[in-house]
Amino acid sequence: MLEVKNLKKTFGALTAVDDISFTIPDGQILGMIGQNGAGKTTTFRLILNFLTADSGEILWNGQPIKKSDYDIIGYLPEERGLYPKVSIEDQIIYFAQLRGKSKKEIKPQIDKWMEKFQVKGKKTDKIKSLSKGNQQKIQLIATLIHQPKLVILDEPFSGLDPVNASLLEAGIKELKKQGASVIFSSHNMNNVEDICDHLVMLRDGKMVLDGTVREIREQFGRKKLFLETLVSSDELKKMPGVLKVETTKDGLKVLDLEHPEDGKAIFGKVTKNGYITTFSQQPPTIEEIFKMKAGEPIE
């Protein structure tokens, strides 16, 4: 279990990380979101001891992280770092050896990992011969092949097409099943909603959201209403509590409500003639919440 307690880091007059705290139990996934410069990568570098915190604690299983603990950490940086003239096999073995593994342990596993992530190429191919997406897969394999207990992924979905993003998502979920503590950052809110057990959002180094995806969404109330109805948009706009009505290209009407309770009266009106195929009252998505919080002043 990873515990981050009251972490703070400044660079001169800039406070990059400002008193943040979170916990990642074994077998749990934490998503960290925020605009560029919010403090996500700095937080990762503090956990990895690439930077020294001004104050706060970082604990692994209740103790400060020791030098030997770094062999059970897997880290995928946002900026990829592979040796272009080295073969896939030698690249993976090299990174595994940095984590205390032997060539004899790792070499037999490489084919299986390449198949798992559908790498196009042979293990004898040079890194420079691979596409950008396949290079990213090789770096991910190098991050995971030593079976880390703590995994830190900085923008792992960046540049991946939907098929490869799905492979990565499956890989992250598999880490969870194996009991690893996983933390990742992403600008893709769909990935965040699908994968995370817990979510934090940073803005200017401060935590502005903290909770499960469901808890965070419910904080903002079920003010979004999705309808399939013959009632016109003009009629819907006149109903009490309706702030805005939009119609999707598929004919679904989307209403913004002033208060969640307004949905009850609307339900009665749109169903007065009987059954309708869609009536779904939802809280805002994580992407919508992200946009709201990114623009709010910090108190």
Give domain limits for the chain. Answer: 2-217, 221-282
pLDDT of residue 157: 85
Pairing mode of beta strands 181-185, 150-154: parallel
> How many CA atoms are closer than 13 Å to the CA of 47, on its beta-carbon side?
31
pTM more than 0.75: yes
Q: In angstroms, rounded to a whole number, what is the distance separating the alpha carbons of residues 70 and 87?
A: 25
Quickly state the pLDDT bin for 299 (edges 50, 70, 90): low
pLDDT at 141: 92
Give the model's confidence band at 13: pLDDT under 50 very low, under 70 low, under 90 confident, else very high.
Answer: very high
Residue 168 has pLDDT above 90, yes or no: no
pLDDT > 70: what percent of the chain?
99
Tokens standing for 194?
A: 């699908």
Instruction: For residues 278-294, give the mean pLDDT.
Output: 91
Q: Tell me the pLDDT band of 226, cut-offs 50, 70 and 90.
A: very high
Query: Across the strands, what pairs with 5?
Result: 57
Residue with more model confidence, 299 or 255: 255
Class of domain 221-282: alpha beta
Of the candidates 6, 26, 7, the residue with the CA atom closest to the CA atom of residue 179: 26
Banded model confidence at residue 297, pLDDT cuts 50, 70, 90: low
d(C-alpha 231, C-alpha 229), whole Å: 5
The DSSP annotation for 106-160 comes to: HGGGHHHHHHHTT--S-TTSBGGGS-HHHHHHHHHHHHHTT--SEEEEESTTTT-
Q: Averaged over 155-182, what is the pLDDT?
A: 88
Does the pLDDT value for residue 150 go beyond 90? Answer: yes
Sheet of 278-282, strand order = 242-247, 253-257, 224-228, 278-282
Q: What is the mean pLDDT of residues 187-216?
A: 92
8-state DSSP, 61: T
- Report angle CA 52, 91, 76 to the nearest 5 degrees: 35
Which residues lie across from 147 on neighbouring strands?
none
Angle between helix 132-144 and helix 88-98 axes, rounded to 10 deg: 30
What pLDDT is stored for residue 68 in this prediction?
84
Percent of the chain whose pLDDT exceeds 90:
68
Three-state DSSP state, 206: strand
Q: Distance (Å, rounded) from C-alpha 173 to C-alpha 197?
A: 11
> What is the CATH topology of the domain spanning 2-217?
Rossmann fold (3.40.50)
Q: How sure is the predictor about 193, in pLDDT bands with cuts at 50, 70 and 90?
A: confident
**Mean pLDDT of the residues in the chain:** 91
At residue 30 the predicted structure's pLDDT band, cuts being 50, 70 and 90, is very high
